[in-house]
C-alpha cells in the first residue's frame, strides 16, 4: 500500500501483488520536507522560539498539527512563502481543496513574480492533477535557475506522476550531479526504478539513502516494499521492524509488515499488525478492511462483517467494502441482508455489473426467480455477452419451468463460448425437463380423458378413480378437478364436490 500520511520527498510505494491495489501517488510533500530538512526556509538562528517551532514542524506528520505550528510561525513572519506553501499542501492533504486554492491565491498575490512562486504553482497544479501544466511551470523555474537541484527533483516527480519514468530518472540524475548527497532525488529515483520493476536497482538507491540517513523511516519502508516484490519477505519484515523501532506509531510500516506476513502465511502475526494499527488510529478504514478480509479468509465471517460495518460507518460509499461485506453475508446464507448490501452499492454505482449479478444470485437462492431474472437482464443490457448472467438467467427460467426460454439462454452462451460445459449441461437438463413435462402432461391428459369416457359410459366410480389418480400425481390439474367436481355434483354428492 502507498504511504497515506505525510510523505517526505521519498514517498512510499505500493506492494505488488495485493488484494486491492490503489494507484501510485505522486510525491505531495517534497517541497516543504526538502526546505525544512535543509534549513533553507528562513534564518532562525536569532530566534530560538521560532527555531524550535521549525524543529517541531519538521518532525510532525499530522497535517492539522502542522497547520497549528505554521500559524505560530506566521505570527512572526506573515508573508513567509515557505510556510504559506506548507499550509497549502496541508489543506490538500486534508481534502480541503477550496482552502488550498485560497492559500495559493494569497501566495500568488504576495510572491507572483518570483522564481519561488513558479515552483509553488507547479506544486499546486500537480496537486490538482494538471501534471502537464505543472511540468511547464517547473521548467519555467529551471529557466531562471538551471542549477537548482530542488527544481530538477520536482520536475522529475511530475514526469514520474505522468508515467514518464525514464525522463524522471534523467532529472533525478541531473539533481544528483549538482548535489550527490541529495537524498530526496536518490529516493525518488528509487521509486522510478520501482515503477519500472527494477527492484534490485531501487533497493540500491534506498540503501544509499540509508547510508546517509540510517534512521530514515520512509526509505526503510520503501526498501521493504521492493524486497517484498522480489518475494524476499523475511528481509522485508526486518526493514519494517526497523522502521517501527524508530517510529512505533508508523501505521504504514504495520500495514506493509502485515502484507509480508500474509505472503508467508503467518496470519496470526498479520492480524496483530492490523490490531496495532487500529490502536493507533481506530477509525482507519484500510486497517479495518484488511482485518476484515483476513477474518473472512479465515472463515470468521461474522467478525469480518463487523469490521466492514465499522469501516462503512466512516466511508459509507466505498463499493469495495460493500462488495466484501456481501461475500461474507453470502457465506452465511444471509441473502436478505446481502440484497440490501448490493442495493446500497447500486445506489452509488447503478451499472456495477458484479453487484447486479450477485444480487440476482441471492434472489435465486430465495426462490425469487422473476426478480433474479430482472437483475440478469440488467447485466445483459450493460454487457450482452456475459455468459455467467446468461447461464444464471437460464437456470432461473428453468426453475420457473420456462424451458424453451431457458434453452435460448444456453444456446446464446454456446454461441459465444462453444465449449461452455455448464451451458451444455444446463441445456441438457432443460431439454430433459421439457420433454419430461410434455410426457407427464400427455399421461395426465390420457387419464383425464379416460375418466370422461368412463363417465359417458355411466361408469362413474371408475371415472372418479381416474380423476383422483391424476390429482394424486398433479393436485393442481384444473381439468381433472373440474371433471371430478361436476361428476360428484351430478351424482348428488354436492358436499364432496365442494371439497
Q: What's the pLDDT tens digit per position in 304-314?
A: 889 988 888 88
Instruction: Give pLDDT tens digits for 132-178.
Output: 998 998 899 888 888 889 889 999 999 999 999 999 999 999 999 99
Does residue 336 register a pLDDT over 60?
Answer: yes
Least confident of 1-15, 199-213, 235-249: 1-15
Q: Is residue 13 part of a domain?
A: yes
Taking residues 187-205, what's their average pLDDT? 94
Final residue before a domain boundary, out of 155, 179, 203:
179
At 292, is the secondary structure helix, strand, or coil?
Answer: helix
DSSP string, 336-394: HHHHHHHHHHHHH-TT-HHHHHHHHHHHHHTT-HHHHHHHHHHHHHH-TT-HHHHHHHH
If you average pLDDT over every residue of the chain, what do you get? 79
Does residue 206 register a pLDDT over 70?
Answer: yes
DSSP letter at 315 equals -
Taking residues 335-363, what's their average pLDDT? 83
Q: Identify the pLDDT of residue 324.
A: 84
Report how far apart, in Å, the C-alpha atoms of 278 and of each of 4, 254, 274, 283, 287 are: 15, 10, 6, 7, 6
Count of structural domains within the chain = 2
More confident residue, 482 or 182: 182
Helices (H), 38-164: 48-59, 63-74, 81-93, 97-111, 115-127, 131-144, 149-161
* Domain around 101: 1-179
| Whether the Cβ atoms of residue 43 and residue 51 lie closer than 8 Å to each other | no
| Whether the Cβ atoms of residue 134 and residue 104 lie closer than 8 Å to each other | no
Q: Identify the pLDDT of residue 487.
A: 67
CATH of the domain at 38: 1.25.40.10
Q: Is residue 315 part of a domain?
A: no
Q: Is residue 266 part of a domain?
A: no
Does residue 28 register a pLDDT over 60?
Answer: no
Would you say the C-alpha torsion 372, 375, 377, 380 has a positive or negative sign? negative
Residue-level length of the chain: 499
Q: Identify the pLDDT of residue 65.
A: 87
Taking residues 443-454, what's their average pLDDT? 55
Final residue before a domain boundary, out of 179, 197, 212:
179
Does residue 458 register a pLDDT over 50?
Answer: yes
Q: Identify the pLDDT of residue 449.
A: 58
Q: Which three cell numbers stand for residue 495?
A: 358436499
Does residue 235 register a pLDDT over 90?
Answer: yes
Highest mean pLDDT among 237-241, 277-281, 483-487: 237-241
Amino acid at each position: 500500500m502507498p504511504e497515506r500520511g505525510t510523505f517526505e520527498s521519498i514517498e512510499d510505494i505500493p506492494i505488488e501483488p495485493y488484494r486491492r491495489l490503489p494507484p501510485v501517488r505522486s510525491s505531495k510533500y517534497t517541497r516543504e520536507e526538502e526546505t525544512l530538512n535543509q534549513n533553507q526556509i528562513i534564518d532562525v538562528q536569532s530566534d530560538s522560539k521560532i527555531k524550535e517551532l521549525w524543529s517541531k514542524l519538521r518532525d510532525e506528520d499530522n497535517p492539522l498539527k502542522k497547520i497549528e505550528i505554521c500559524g505560530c510561525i506566521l505570527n512572526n513572519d506573515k508573508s513567509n512563502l515557505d510556510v504559506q506553501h506548507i499550509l497549502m499542501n496541508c489543506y490538500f492533504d486534508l481534502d480541503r481543496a477550496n482552502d488550498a486554492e485560497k492559500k495559493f491565491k494569497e501566495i500568488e498575490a504576495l510572491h507572483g513574480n518570483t522564481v519561488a512562486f513558479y515552483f509553488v504553482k507547479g506544486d499546486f497544479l500537480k496537486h490538482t492533477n494538471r501534471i502537464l501544466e505543472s511540468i511547464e511551470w517547473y521548467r519555467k523555474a529551471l529557466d531562471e535557475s538551471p542549477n537548482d537541484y530542488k527544481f530538477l527533483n520536482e520536475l522529475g516527480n511530475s514526469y514520474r506522476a505522468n508515467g514518464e519514468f525514464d525522463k524522471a530518472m534523467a532529472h533525478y540524475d541531473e539533481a544528483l550531479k549538482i548535489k550527490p548527497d541529495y537524498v530526496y532525488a536518490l529516493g525518488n529515483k528509487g521509486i522510478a526504478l520501482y515503477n519500472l520493476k527494477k527492484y534490485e536497482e531501487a533497493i540500491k538507491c534506498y540503501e544509499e539513502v540509508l547510508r546517509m540517513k540510517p534512521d530514515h523511516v520512509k526509505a526503510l519502508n520503501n526498501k521493504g516494499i521492493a524486497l517484498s516484490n522480489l518475494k524476499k519477505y523475511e528481509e522485508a519484515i526486518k526493514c519494517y521492524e526497523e522502521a517501527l523501532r524508530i517510529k512505533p506509531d508508523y501505521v504504514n510500516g504495520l500495514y506493509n509488515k502485515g502484507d509480508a506476513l500474509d505472503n508467508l502465511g503467518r496470519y496470526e502475526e498479520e492480524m496483530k499488525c492490523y490490531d496495532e494499527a487500529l490502536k493507533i488510529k481506530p477509525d482507519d478504514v484500510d486497517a479495518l478492511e484488511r482485518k476484515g478480509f483476513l477474518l473472512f479468509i479465515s472463515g470468521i465471517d461474522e467478525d469480518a462483517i463487523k469490521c466492514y460495518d465499522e469501516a462503512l460507518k466512516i466511508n459509507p460509499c466505498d463499493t469495495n467494502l460493500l462488495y466484501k461485506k456481501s461475500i461474507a453475508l453470502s457465506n452465511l446464507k444471509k441473502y436478505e441482508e446481502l440484497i440490501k448490501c448490493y442495493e446500497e452499492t447500486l445506489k452509488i454505482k447503478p451499472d456495477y455489473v458484479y453487484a447486479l449479478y450477485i444480487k440476482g444470485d441471492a434472489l435465486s437462492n430465495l426462490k425469487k426467480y422473476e426478480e433474479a431474472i430482472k437483475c440478469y437482464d440488467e447485466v445483459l443490457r450493460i454487457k450482452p455477452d456475459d455468459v455467467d448472467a446468461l447461464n444464471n438467467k437460464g437456470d432461473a427460467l428453468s426453475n420457473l419451468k420456462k424451458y424453451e426460454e431457458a434453452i435460448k439462454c444456453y444456446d446464446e452462451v454456446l454461441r459465444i463460448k462453444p465449449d461452455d460445459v455448464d451451458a451444455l449441461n444446463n441445456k441438457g437438463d432443460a431439454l430433459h425437463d421439457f420433454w419430461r413435462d410434455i410426457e407427464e402432461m400427455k399421461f395426465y391428459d390420457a387419464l383425464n380423458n379416460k375418466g370422461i369416457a368412463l363417465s359417458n359410459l355411466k361408469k362413474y366410480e371408475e371415472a372418479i378413480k381416474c380423476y383422483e389418480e391424476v390429482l394424486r400425481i398433479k393436485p393442481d390439474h384444473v381439468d381433472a378437478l373440474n371433471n371430478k367436481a361436476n361428476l360428484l355434483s351430478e351424482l348428488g354428492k354436492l358436499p364432496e364436490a365442494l371439497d
